[in-house]
Structure 1
Amino acid sequence: MRFERRADVSLTALVIAPFAAILVALVLCAGLIAAAGVSPLAAYGEMLKGALGSRLSITETLTRAVPLMLTGLAAAVAFRARVWNIGGEGQFYIGALVTAGLGHSLFAGLPAPLAISLLMAVSIIAGALLLMAPLLLRLRFGVDEVVVTLLLNFIVLLLVGLMVEGPLKDPMAFGWPQSVPVDASLRLPKLVPRSRLHIGLLVAVAAAALVWLIQARTVFGAETRAAGLAPKAAAFAGVRLSRTLMAVAFLSGGLAALAGSVEVLGPTGYVTTTMSPGFGYAGIVVAMLAALHPAGVVAAAVFVATVFVGADAMSRATGVPSFIADVIMSVSLLAMLTALLFTTYRIRR
């Protein structure tokens, strides 16, 4: 028995794979819910009701989906070119930290649209540099970027802790470890009144459209696909791999940092060491469920947000621990990887 790569991967199979993976994950996790003494159908019903059952729950789900879209895009862009960016969490936090630090006083006197644009741009550059450094180590010395980007997550989180307990500590927080807030004039406008949903949702959707346009309609997009599929062949065809991969790192790290910037300018207004429930890591799940397609990232981010927001409501209603959301995400990732294996390869005797 051996695996043989399929000459032509069916588009239908690629579209069905994410839905099949999610269905398998829900069926498998239904056993855990049943073991807790709760009907799986009732639990999933409460999950949907908690995430999509009212105006408030829908806006909360979409608010949670915004950073997931951007970190999912960051992972998808990198993975397509075989740049293994596991540092989305650190890039998210560095973008948030830069935004909070500069948005409190330096850019506060500028017109709001200009100041918000500059804050996002600076955060993108900070996140890009955070990923370009490990990739440069890989290109120059063969250092594994998986290890470096993963360790940088912890280093950046320690830096955030240092800053919110030191130079950026909010004196009005009564000892709570949080940064000074960004100026009120720089907060993103609301999309829906009396909710937390902000125009960052439009920013994330626009970013997904831009990434799709770059990947599908530009020479750079073709070079990134070639670098991911067959780097030696791409280099033989004239693709400058180092330059292409550094550009990919800039785009990927910038998108993850933009997620942190949008989160500060949108729902939170300041930085803490606990502001992210794992957006950087969840972005990897989002990217894989989307099969690395930008349009799929938007849909996958909404699904993941639905699970996490709905799990809290399900826990309150049924007593099933909300950690079931993490289990669903983990099983969905494994099921998706299995589905992609069998859509890309066939078994030969």
Structure 2
Amino acid sequence: MRFERRDHRPLALVIATPLIAVAVALGLAGGLIALAGAPVLEAFGKIVTGAFGSRLALTETLTRAIPLTLTGLAAAVAFRARLWNIGAEGQLYLGAITVAGVSAHLLGGLPAVVQIPLLLICGAAAGMVLLLIPLWLRLRFQVDEVVTTLLLNFVAILFVSMLIDGFLKDPMAFGWPQSVPVTSEAMLPKLVARSRLHWGLVLALVLAVAVHLVQSRTRFGLQSRAAGLNPAGAVFAGVPLGRTLVLVAMISGGLAGLAGAVEVMGVMSYVTTELSSGYGYSGIVVAMLANLHPLGVVLAALFTAAMFVGADAMGRSMNVPSYIADVTVALSLLSMLVAIFFTQYRIRR
């Protein structure tokens, strides 16, 4: 028995891959639920109801899907060009703290129509800078960006912690470590009244479509895909590899920084070190579940958000650990990696 690379990947197999991965992950998670002493079908029903069964549940799921979509796009753009951005979590935090500081100290007097776009640009720019540093180390000294982007997550979060305990500390927080809030003009309008769902959802969907069009219809998209498939061949064909990777890093880091900006301006209004519940790392899972396709990222983010929100509801009603959601998402990633392998290789006798 041996593995043989496929000359062509059937479209049906590519489409079925994430569905099979999710089904396998749910099956394995069902076994864990059964071990916890709960009826499996009822538990899955509670997850679906908790994520989509009411107006509040649906809006919370969509709200949770917004940063997951943006960090998933950040990972998908970078990974397709073989730029291993594991630092979306730090880029998210840096984008968030930049928005809080700029809104409170520089743009506080401006109207919303001016302040909101400027703050989104500032948040995206902060994420870009944090990813361009590891890319420069890779291009200049051949330093592995997996290590540098991962370690910069901790540096960024500690930097944010220093700011919210010092220069950007909210004097009205009664000693609680949080940043000064953004002004009311900087908050994104709500999509649904009496909910947390905001216009960041529209922004995330527009960016997903835009990234898809850039990757599939532009010269830069072709160059970035070529850089990911075969860097040496891309250089031989005339692709400016360094410049292409810089543009990829700017888009990827900008999307991750934008996720932090949107989370502050749409939900929290201030920054704490608990702003993100692992959105940067979960974005990697979302990108892999989507097979690095920008439009698939939207569906993968919705599935991941539904698991998190629905599992919380299931845990409260059935006394089952809500960590089942984390396990299911992790199993989905592992199943997807195996499924991707078999879309690229077949077994020959």
**TM-score over 0.5 for the alignment?**
yes
Distance 1:191 1:267 in 2: 12
1:98-132, Cα deviation, whole Å (9 max, x unpaired): 00111113112112122111111111111111101
Contact 1:105 1:183 in 2 (8 A): no
SS of the residue 2:172 aligns to: coil
SS at match of 1:347: strand
Equivalent-residue separation in structure 1 for 2:99 and 2:2 (angstroms):
51
1:1-349 maps to which residues of 2 (within 5 A)?
A: 1-349=1-349
Distance in 2 of aligned mates of 1:281 and 1:137: 22
Instruction: Write out the 4+ residue segments of structure 1 that deviate beyond 6 Å after TM superposition.
Output: none
Q: State the shift of 1:84 in Å.
A: 0.3
Distance in structure 1 (CA, Å) of the matches to 2:275 and 2:126 = 19
Cα RMSD for the two superposed structures: 0.7
Counterpart code for 1:119: L
Q: Given the two structures, how large is their TM-score scaled by the length of structure 1?
A: 0.99
Quote the Cα distance in structure 2 between the aligned partners of 1:52 and 1:215: 32
Q: Whole-Å Cα distance in 1 between the matches of residues 119 and 4 of structure 2?
A: 49
Check whether the contact 1:196–1:267 (CA below 8 A) recurs between aligned residues. Answer: yes
Q: Give, as a single letter, the amino acid of the residue that structure 1 aligns with 2:279.
A: F
Superposed CA offset, 1:146-187 (max 9, x none): 000000000000011101111111111111110000001110
8 Å CA contact 1:92, 1:127 repeated in 2: yes
1:31-65 CA distances to partner (integer Å, 9 max, x unpaired)?
11001110111111101111100001000000000
> What's the secondary structure of 1:4's corresponding residue?
strand
| Offset from partner CA, 1:53-98 (integer Å, 9 cap, x none) | 0001000000000000000000000000000000000000000010
Contact preservation (8 Å) 2:189, 2:199: yes
Contact 1:227 1:241 in 2 (8 A): yes
Give identity over the alignment, percent. Answer: 61
In the alignment, the residues of structure 2 paired with residue 114 and residue 345 of structure 1 have an alpha-carbon distance, to the nearest angstrom, of 52
Could you tell me the TM-score, scaled by structure 2's length?
0.99
- Please report how far the alpha carbon of residue 5 of structure 1 lies from its aligned counterpart in structure 2 after TM superposition: 1.5
Q: Distance in 2 between matches of 1:238 and 1:250?
A: 21
Q: Which stretch shifts more, 102-111 or 40-49?
A: 102-111
- Secondary structure of the residue aligned to 1:104 is helix
What secondary structure is seen at the aligned counterpart in 1 of 2:105? coil
Q: Retained in 1: the 8 A contact 2:115–2:186?
A: yes
Q: Distance in 2 between matches of 1:130 and 1:236?
A: 30
Report the CA distance between 1:348 and its aligned residue: 2.5
- SS of 2:347 mapped into structure 1: strand
- The AA in structure 1 aligned to 2:339 is A
Count the aligned residue pairs. Answer: 349
CA contact (8 A) 2:82 2:228 kept: yes
User: Which ranges in structure 1 are unaligned for 5 or more consecutive residues?
Assistant: none
Any idea what the Cα deviations from partners look like across 1:215-273, whole Å, max 9, x if unmatched?
Answer: 01100000000000111111111001011011101100000000000000001000000
Determine helix, strand or coil for the equivalent of 2:43.
helix
Question: How much has 1:2 moved relative to structure 2?
Answer: 2.9
CA distance in structure 1 between the partners assigned to 2:92 and 2:2 by the alignment: 41
